[in-house]
Amino acid sequence: MSWIPKPDAYGVMNNNFQKARDKMVDTQLVTRGIYDPRVLAAMRKVPRHLFVSEALQSQAYADHPLPIGDKQTISQPYSRGAHDRGAPTQGA
């Protein structure tokens, strides 16, 4: 299954990608009114760069959707966060 994300060569997340996730949350989600700590925590944790081709990994945290194969895309981060903030959560 080619869509399953794979860890980098060392089996860990690259610190630069974590910085990109943090910046994405701060500039694309919080500034647009997404404040649910569960959504923000999830968006800071999900390694979007592992869901796209290596050629697109540098764009994984940009403010637009990206192709992931089979005519599918990974959603724009804000769209995903806005969708999730309205989702019912267990224990809420």
The 10s digit of each residue's pLDDT in 42-90 is: 999 999 999 999 999 999 999 999 999 999 999 999 887 787 765 455 5
How far is residue 47's CA from residue 60's CA, in Å, rounded to a whole number? 9
**Annotated catalytic residue 75:** yes
Domain range for residue 22?
Answer: 15-85
Residue 68 belongs to some domain of the structure: yes
List the one residue out of 27, 33, 12, 35 whose CA is nearest residue 62. 27
The reported pTM is 0.74
Residue 23 belongs to some domain of the structure: yes
Residue 54 belongs to some domain of the structure: yes
Which entry of 2, 53, 58, 75 is annotated as an active-site residue?
A: 75
Q: Do 48 and 61 contact (CB within 8 A), yes or no?
A: yes
Residue 10 belongs to some domain of the structure: no
Residue 63 belongs to some domain of the structure: yes
Number of domains present in the structure of the chain: 1
